[in-house]
Structure formats: structure tokens, C-alpha cells
Amino acid sequence: MTTHPTIYDVHIIGGGLAGSEAAWQLARRGIRVRLSEMRGTGQRSPAHQTDGLAELVCSNSFRSDDDEKNAVGLLHHEMRRCDSLIMAAAAKAQVPAGSALAVDRDVFSAEVEARLAALPSLDIGRERIDTLPEAGLTLVATGPLTAEALAGSIGRATGAESLAFFDAIAPIVYRETIDMDICWMASRWDKGETKDYINCPMDKDQYLAFHAGLIEGEKSVFKEWEANTPYFDGCMPIEVMAERGVDTLRFGPMKPVGLDNPRTGRWPYAVVQLRQDNKLGTLWNMVGFQTKLKHAEQVRLFRTIPGLEKAEFARLGGLHRNTFLNSPLLLDRQLRLKSAPHVRFAGQITGCEGYVESAAVGLMAGLMTAAQLRGLEWQSPPRTTALGALLSHITGDAEAESYQPMNVNFGLFPPLHDVKKKQRKEAYTARAKADIGAWVETLTTAA
């Protein structure tokens, strides 16, 4: 019979994908860990159906497993190189899904829990934690539905009034897919000397058709537990604004005042503006275009905007209850809370989006904590890798002012401008695979 420790080196709060992966990375190195999970105490979040660790509450898919042309498939590859528990459990629970990695969710959760339970230095406690510990190494991985009491404690520690709200996300476009023969650069409403915004002009007929499309487009339905969560005033969905009147958008996010189109010398009837979203300049977000339109409807409608006819989207808009930190502002490069560095965060609460990304951040947080406990200098994965690009986005590459949850995508990688566009995805993955090997060797040496 395995005896679990009563004294531990690290306290992990949250037994989802990120918390489970972090616990695995630490405990398999012999570090004493306590993993606290609320489910199993008679309490669950509204989204959960079981008490199993790493329960998949939405889809059963980890998305594409293609590591040659797909950023999330590349992330799969890199996590496997790091002996990821989540990837190993997914392999055990895999079900047919073409090129995607999909799992039997019950088999997957049971496999994660069984592997963790077998680790002698890991103690799994079924308990609810309501406040951030004042001392001791702590890793918070409570996800987008963090319980109200703990969310309040995190809010007080970070200076945020509330972490639970409708996260209204604007679409993000790959810069290279914007037609600059139609669009032009200018400052916001042509105020100031810098030209930081891409402007897409609309005439009256185009605007009226677009407005009608917003009103008539198929919308996502809120889940039951989201029904009473309010919007932020500054994050009103664009279709809700459109419903307030045909000209509401022209006096709001689509206001053309002061924006002389250099090709006509006149203001357009309306304008769609895009703002740089990352320091690399590869991703641009559609200003004020947070939306609850369904994804297919977004692609169809947004490609009617002049200059975006061939737009490719790194992320489409969304609207859901979420809990996440403004990580570029609040966390250091090792995911530690700047105001309380004994506390690390991991998973979706840091502002990553998706099962795999959540687990990947948990993996890195576990490795960071292991290095800290052993007195070793932490070496971040190269930014040219999927792990490194994701970490860099969360901890500094993203603009804090407009920070929003993000899936891994090639727009987060240092660009390869000297590679032809058709060959760029393969070039990104080839570079990442070449660079991840040496970094994984540092983990082996430190293990």
C-alpha cells in the first residue's frame, strides 16, 4: 500500500488538465505534492458531470494531431517529448477521429487519475480551497470556472474587482491575409502622429448589408450557468450594438470620422479598424468586434468587409463566462504572481484557450516549480517552439491592454518572412522540432 506524504513541497489547487499535468511533472521527479480538487466533496462546477480528475467538460477532441502543418499538432509533439501525462492518457483513450486526436472521455479521466494515484510523492485531497495560501509554493490551476470564493481571493490579490464575467472576444486576423491594396494605415480616427491601425473602408450599401448580416446571423446560445453573468460595458457584442439602431455602429467602433481614405481623399461611410495584437506584428484584432455569432457565420460575414475577403483567422470571436488573469501585466516570465511570487498560475486561468494549451501551460509550470525547488536556473523553451511561443504570449508578447484568451497558432511564432507563404507552416514546424530537442535534453539532465 502506498503511503502518501502529509508534508509537501508544492500545493496545487485544481485537478483539471493543467493541475494534473503539473502534478505529474513534479511528483514523478520525487517532489512532494498535494493536489486539491473540489469535486469529490459533494460540490462541482456547473460544467462538470463527474468527480474524475482531468474531466473533459466540452468536446472530447484535442484537435489536429498533424505536427507537420498545424500549430496544435506541433504542441502535441512537443508535449510528448516532455513525457506529458495528458498526451499519454490521450493515447490510451484514443478513438477514431481522422487526423484529429479524440478520446473516450471516461477512459481518459480514469487513466489520468490512475497514473497520478500511483505516484508515491503525490497526495490527492478532495477539498475546496477558498483563499490563496499566504505562504508556501502554490500552483493555482482552477480553470475558467473557478469557484466564487477563490476567484474573489485571486481578485483581491491581483487588484481585479472581479474575475468572472462574459469574456467577449474579438476575432484576430493573420496580418499577411489582409489586402493592403484596399486597406490603409492610420491612427485611431486619425488622431496622433503614429499610424497604428489598419482601416477597412465601407460604402453605404456595404455597411447596410453588413449591419443586416449582424442582426440576422445565427448566434451562439448561452449555457445555463452563464445566463445571469453580465457583460462588461466596454465589451458589448457588436450584434447587440447593431440591434440598437442602424447607425449605432457608425457612431461607435465603425466610426469613420477623420479617416481620409488615401485612394479617394474622403471619409468612408463606415470603417472597420484592426489593431496590432502581438509584438511580432503577425496578429491583428478587429477593434470592437467581440461577438456571439457562430464561427461559420463570422467567417462568412467578416469576409464581406473590404480588404478582408481572403482573411484567415487565428481566432474567431466568442462570448462565454470566463475567469482569467491579465497575465502579461500580473505574472512574471515564470508564471508567478508579481505581487506574491510564491503563487504560480497555470492553465486556462492564465489566458490560454483549449485543452491542449491548458495542459501545456500546466506542464511548463510544473517544470518551472521543479527547477526552483532544486535551485536550478529555469531555461524557457525557445520562442520558436509551440511551448515557447505560447509561454511568451502569456507572459509578455501580448499587449496587456487588449489581452484575451488565445489558442496556440503560428501567429505567435517569430515570423519567417524569407519563406514562401505556401511553405511557411512546414517551415515553422521544422524549425520548432529542431529547436525543441536541445531544450528537452536540459530537462533530462535536470531530472
Quote the distance between the C-alpha of residue 366 and its chain's center: 18
- Decide: 246 and 211 in contact? Cβ < 8 Å: yes
Residues 96 and 158 in one domain: yes
Residues 198 and 300 in one domain: yes
Alpha-carbon distance of 13 to 251, in angstroms, equals: 45
Percent of the chain with pLDDT over 90: 62
Tell me which of 270, 293, 321 is where a domain ends. Answer: 321
Domain match, 151 and 94 both: yes
Mark whether 369 and 441 lie in a shared domain: yes
Residue 49 falls inside a structural domain: yes
Question: Is 1 a member of any domain?
Answer: no
Residue 2 falls within a domain, yes or no? no
Residue showing cell 536556473? 377
Evaluate whether residue 3 is within a structural domain: no
- Evaluate whether 416 touches 431 at the Cβ level (below 8 Å): yes
What is the grid cell recorded at 346? Answer: 497555470
Supply 238's cell numbers.
457588436
Residue numbers of the domain that contains 119: 10-164+323-446
152 is in an annotated binding site: no
274, part of any domain: yes
Residue 348 lies in a domain: yes
Per-residue pLDDT reduced to its tens digit, 137-183:
999 999 877 877 888 899 888 886 545 455 567 898 999 999 999 99
pLDDT band for position 342 (cuts 50, 70, 90): very high
Name the strand (E) or helix (H) holding 142.
none
DSSP H or E stretch at residue 167: strand 165-169
Q: Are 275 and 371 in the same domain? A: no
Has 18 been labeled as part of a binding site? Answer: yes
- State the helix-helix crossing angle for 355-373 and 424-446, rounded to 10 degrees: 30
pLDDT at 185: 93
Band (pLDDT 50/70/90 cuts) for residue 437 is: very high
Flag whether pLDDT at 384 surpasses 50: yes
| Predicted local confidence at residue 427, as pLDDT | 97
Write out the three cell numbers for 77: 509533439
CATH classification at residue 405: 3.50.50.60
Does residue 104 share a domain with residue 34? yes
Kindly state whether residues 255 and 138 are assigned to the same domain. Answer: no
Higher pLDDT, 402 or 222: 402
> Are residues 310 and 381 both part of a single domain?
no
Last residue of a domain, one of 263, 291, 321: 321
Give me 20's grid cell. Answer: 494534473
| Residue 438: strand, helix, or coil | helix
Q: Is 16 flagged in the annotation as binding?
A: yes
Flag whether 5 is in a domain. Answer: no
pTM recorded for the entire structure: 0.76
Ligand-binding annotation for 19, yes or no, is yes
CATH number at residue 277: 2.40.30.260
Residue 427 and residue 393 in one domain: yes
pLDDT digits (tens, 9 = 90+) for 349-362: 998 888 999 999 99
pLDDT digits (tens, 9 = 90+) for 180-232: 999 999 876 556 566 788 999 999 999 999 999 999 998 776 555 445 554 54
pLDDT on residue 58: 67
| Number of domains observed in the structure of the chain | 2
In angstroms, rounded to a whole number, what is the distance separating the alpha carbons of residues 420 and 44?
49
Average pLDDT over every residue of 428-433:
97
| Residue corresponding to grid cell 519563406 | 419
Same domain for 95 and 119, yes or no, is: yes
Residues 316 and 246 both lie in one domain: yes
321, 339, 362 - which closes a domain: 321
Cell numbers that stand for 43 in this block: 460540490
Instruction: Let me know: does 284 contact 178? Beta carbons within 8 Å.
Output: yes
314 annotated among ligand-binding-site residues: no
Residues 6+ apart with CB under 8 A from 39: 15, 45, 48, 50, 51, 52, 55, 126
**Mean pLDDT across 86-107:** 88
| Residue 256 in this model has a pLDDT that exceeds 50 | yes
Whether 125 and 189 share a structural domain: no
**pLDDT tens string 22-70:** 999 999 999 999 999 988 776 655 555 688 899 987 667 899 999 999 9
Tell me the residue type at 287: V
Rounded-to-integer distance, Cα 399 and Cα 278, Å: 6
Residue 358 counted as domain residue: yes
Confidence of residue 276 (pLDDT cuts 50, 70, 90): confident
Cα–Cα dist 208/438, whole Å: 55
186 a known binding residue?
Answer: no
